[in-house]
Amino acid sequence: MTKKNIAIFLFFSLIQVSYNAQSLAYSGTNSFDISTSTHIGAYGIPRQEASPTGMIYGDAGKKLFLVGTGGDYVLQYSLSTDYDVSTKGAIQSYFRVNPSESNPEDVFFNSTGTKMYILGGAGDDVTEFVLNTPWDLFSIDITLDTPVVFNAEAAIDTYLSPTTSHGDNLTGFRFNNDGSKLFILDRSADHVFEFSLDTNYDISTAGSVDADIDVVGLENNGRAIEFNNDGTKLYIMGAAGDDVNTYNLATGYSLSSVTVITSTSISLPETVPNALLINNDGTKFYIAGNTDEEIKEYTLSTPYDFALSTFTVTPDDTYIFTTIERTPHGMVFNNDGTKLFVIGSSSDTVLEIHLSVPYDIGTGSLESVLSIASEEAAPLGLAFNGDGSTLFIVGNDDDGINQYALSTNFDLSSTVTKSGPFSVNITETNNENSPRDMVFNDDGSKLFLLGNRRDRVFQFSLSTNYDLSTLAADYDGNYNITSIDNSPQGIAFNSDGSKFYIAGNTGDTIYEFTLENNFDVTTGTISNTNSFSIATEEITVTDILLNDDGSRFYISGSAGDDMNQYYMKSLLPETPNDGTIDDTTNPVLITLTGDTFFASSGTFSDSEVTIGNVPEGLTVVLTLNSNTEAQLSFIGKANSHINSDEAAANLEFTFTDLAFTVNDAEDVLYAVAHTDVLSFDFIECADNEIVYNGSWSGGNNSGVPDDSATDLLLGIRVQGDITITSDTNCDCLNVENGQTLTIVDGVNLTVTNALELGGDLRLLGSAQLLQTHTGVKNASGTGNLYKDVKGTLSNVYQSGYWTSPVTTDGLTYNLFGVLKDGSTALTASNTPLDITFTGGFDGDDSTSPVTLSRKWLAKLTNSGDWSRDMTETSTLNPTEGFNKKSTGNASGQNYTFVGRPNDGEYTTDISAGNYSLLGNPYPSPIDIDVFTTENSTAINGTIYFYEAGNEIDHSRGTYLGGYATRFMSAGNSATSIDAALIGLNKVPGQYVGVGQGFFVEASATGGAITFNNNTQRDFNTPNVFFSKNQKKKKSSDFPIIRLGFEFLYNGKIYHRPISVGFRDFISSSSEYKGAEMWDYNPTDMALKLEENDLPYVITMVEKFNSNLVIPLKVKSDVNRNVTFNIDEINSLDTNVYIYDKITKIYHNITSNKAIINLDSGEYNDRFFITFNETVLGLDNEELNEFSILNKNNKLLISSKYLIDEVFIYNLLGQNVITINNSLKESKMKINTTNLKKGIYVVKVKSLKGSFTQKIIIN
């Protein structure tokens, strides 16, 4: 039977059914069911700060921090564009400084973001807080790290006069750029005071006042201070003149050096300015004050110069200056969840918060504020009508409801017109004078009011929907909840009114009630069906709110000063990665009412239903159990396991018309694009596991796992600390919370699919972790991977390129977070120390922990120049490399990387003409040849590894350091300038070690560069850079010759290697390819290609034959002897010659060096590599134009052309005779009596060109 043959009577029987009477019900979901809720997180509710006092950038301009006295909070924002306040998103983190300081006036951080300083107006002191995670306010824990306090008032009072009270109105402060000085502005004394710190950024070491300046002449109500980038300008902003005044300092950050005070000041539109912020290059400044309670942005046309810059009083832009609402009460969403409205009783305002992700309060940013203080001094609840054109507020002040008309729906910034208050008439009839919340039914014909005094829900009828003026004379009835909770605070209904929820303060619990009659608390049976405790998150709950589909609920509270978000979905717990669903106890069923399914084969086809968001690796199958019930199952294996707190994506069901017998899909409720249905919680990494819980079970080797094919199909679960001592592989690995899995030196651990680290994984020595799955990252958990990597630098002046095999947070890394002191080699239990970073020039291996200089940190990503503003807290992506200098450890410093392991696919873009410093992002070596092949369209195919030289200071010297190169499976070592270093032990091989950084250059088009697990290789080497210790089984799969070029430089031998590979797939010189030489020095040798004049360090030529000629470029900056020699001949049996076109001499360098004297100059067409002595002989035409006869101690030279000059060279290339033919004759005689016996080369120059011939003097 087809759909067209359906009996007519079915249609008539269904036509009487109301719209959407046909619907689907999905098991596995608990929408509007609080019993299985999961707490997602807590989020501060932003409100406008009435008294902003301080602003500061952090983390190299990636973060913005704000402080104010209105809430005593420091707020943290991320900036998507460094130093651009307009790009701030939602509040990222916050910290309340009260009770440590109840009147915060300013905020500052040390350079690494590990300390925060608050200038307090209450205690007139500076308080120092420790951040356990750099630049993260949530990481402050004053129970673990007691704040340090510097009594600035006492120091100032002592300095000025012991009998005069000063230092009791501190309003602004700043440190200098290295934290060795502290500057404080005191409004009572109208002075700026300078303090020295014995230990940088340690305020416990601050002493007495070193110097001060009196600012009363220009400003007697100073509110904020700021410096320019080098401390040579001091800016003081004040409320007396509402201006910024500039003080010039002859010596940066030295108040005693003030020479000129710029009396010209700029007037500000802010009448009570409190906070001043200048961006990193002095082109923008921001002020905040009490006038409009916002941040105002201005542009300085002359950087850092307030006097000369021109700008209008009108700011370029304004931004709301926020704090945290400490007493949030009522909450409501707009109709699509993109806006959240909150009543705040501490500020008597309604807050309009925009959500970048609908219904996700963690993505909120404050957009508008509506003050209701004049109408309601104790607001507690709010509601909108159906379209958002009317707002209703209820509170304790007048026990009525105020009504506000909005000219633009759900927009508090539009014109707002108030009416009311409207009495709800419950005080008189039921002695209820403490309304807590209000809510309408779905069409606005009923109003429900929650009373806290009588603990009841009151129901009112409206004759006109949402019009309070049409309220009935008395309420319809009420429902008493006293027996459930005698302090109800908030109420909410589900979408169809069959349930309502009470947020109760007595038991800190959410209560779920089921109604027999929807949206009616006066009739039928009402049952308290569920409850859910929120006491862990909030002990003073004030309201409850649900999203539209019942998948989430939210509570507000005044104890935590925040909103908490909960997930109400029913996840499938303990679902194995193979997607198996327990068909007996928990089948996933889809039930149809009002119609029947029409799946022609018993299994739904793609034309009948599509199901989106299926975990990668699984294929979904939907099978009919009956004509009204379908059951979900999977085939395949999921590539990842997802924890419930990671917000697993919901399945999305879309049925088509063909799926149903009668109705079109759009007429069946929850049939089209229905989400919030089912998510997966993959905890088990495989069906069958090898488990360690004190002993091994399930493994191939008497329970112990090994590298067998059997164990490759199994998962490993670690439930106790254990060490693996032999190569092991598995399908997936789960190290449970608090446990440690250690892999000993020389052992490889291979994981095919998922890696979940609740605990730690330690790779000792050269142990390696390989993950072999395809696609994106399949590693999760909060545990860390530990991996030692040893550097090769031997002094503090040498640079090296690095990257990280781990991240700080699973996404990005910073050096402070992942790079630790490895002076003590990693063990199964030791804790590597955090490295100390200094602003000085030199690292230090004698300190504990070791010290690195941040001055030399730099990165280069898709650019033509370095980013030198990098610090140890700068954020890098897993593909990005960085430059650093060493601690000075003569044998090479060992480091320990600690963090979330990198895994899967990573991509970075590169544009034509640009370069990128990248690196091996994995905790195992990568095959660089595979990498270059896979990225051949984006990069030019050459990989550059920097090798430091014998630097003796921080100056960049010629011939010091160079680039080792790999190109088309051939490696070439870097230059060296010490005979002891000359050799082949640093030729880059096929494998790039852990932590190694390298340069790439974009192709002509550029594109996306991709790293993936396909490049990971099981290659056991010590943890040092690239391939210097790789054991060569075979140098290459094709013939290669490596030539050396040497000369004496400052008493040491400079050695330049170059390499030539012979490839079968190249047929002619037009197809030759090369790797460009990046460090072609003033005296040097390089290879040359026909199509351009660039120097090359590697070339690929055609299949070897003895007639090949390979041109060289040679240059010398002075007259000197240079040497050509063979470094290595691989897979060739041939003689190798250097042919000198000037002397016409073939130098056999196969086993001997050729020493040639060169005058200064460039020789781009003189020297060639050849493989016999005849390939570059004279042609017949040249022989016919010149003749040289050696007879009777005379040379008789004749030419068809006039002769200009004649040169005679010995076999060393030294010029022994030069004769200028001033008579311009075509014949010459030269006496050779004084020449010693031997072979010489005669070179004749004429207008036609030059001619060279060997002669023998007997």
> What is this structure's pTM?
0.56
Largest CA distance in the chain: 143
The DSSP element (H or E) to which 1169 belongs, if any, is strand 1167-1170
| Beta carbons within 10 angstroms of residue 945's beta carbon | 26
Q: Are 789 and 903 in contact (CB under 8 A)?
A: no
Q: What are 1199's strand-pairing partners?
A: 1186
Radius of gyration, alpha carbons of the chain: 40
Alpha helices (runs of H) in 783-908, residue ranges in sequence order:
815-818
Distance CA 330, CA 557 (A): 10
- Collapse the DSSP code of 804 into the 3-class scheme (helix H, G, I; strand E, B; otherwise coil) and give the result: coil
Q: Do domains 55-322 and 1180-1257 have the same CATH topology?
A: no
CB-count burial class (<10 Å; 0-12, 13-18, 19+) for 101: buried
pLDDT of residue 721: 96
Give the residue among 80, 86, 89 at the shortest CA–CA distance from 59: 80
- Collapse the DSSP code of 256 into the 3-class scheme (helix H, G, I; strand E, B; otherwise coil) and give the result: helix
Distance CA 369, CA 355 (A): 15
Mean pLDDT (10-residue bins), the chain, 1258 residues? 29 31 66 72 75 90 90 88 88 85 92 94 89 92 92 89 72 94 91 95 94 82 90 87 84 90 59 84 84 79 79 76 76 89 82 83 83 83 91 78 91 88 64 81 92 87 90 87 89 92 87 93 91 85 84 79 72 49 62 86 90 79 90 72 44 90 88 67 62 93 92 90 96 91 96 89 96 84 94 93 95 96 96 96 96 96 94 96 96 96 95 97 95 95 92 80 94 82 68 96 96 80 44 67 95 94 87 94 95 92 93 96 95 95 92 93 95 65 67 85 86 81 83 84 77 79
Q: Where are the domains of the chain?
A: 22-28+571-680, 55-322, 326-565, 697-771, 784-1015, 1040-1170, 1180-1257
| Beta carbons within 10 angstroms of residue 281's beta carbon | 11
Distance CA 879, CA 863 (A): 15
* Phi and psi, residue 847, nearest 5°: -85, 165
Assess if CATH 2.30.42.10 describes domain 326-565.
Answer: no
Distance CA 1216, CA 1201 (A): 24
Strand-pair category, 722-724 with 740-743: parallel
CATH-assigned architecture of domain 1180-1257: Sandwich (2.60)
Token pair in block for residue 182: 């502290």
pLDDT of residue 552: 79
Question: 1138-1170 burial string, b = 16+ CB within 10 Å, else e?
Answer: bbbebbbbbbebeeeebbbebeeeebeebbbbb
pLDDT of residue 8: 25
Distances (CA, A) of 701 to 751, 769, 1114: 18, 21, 62
- Domain 55-322: assigned CATH number: 2.130.10.10
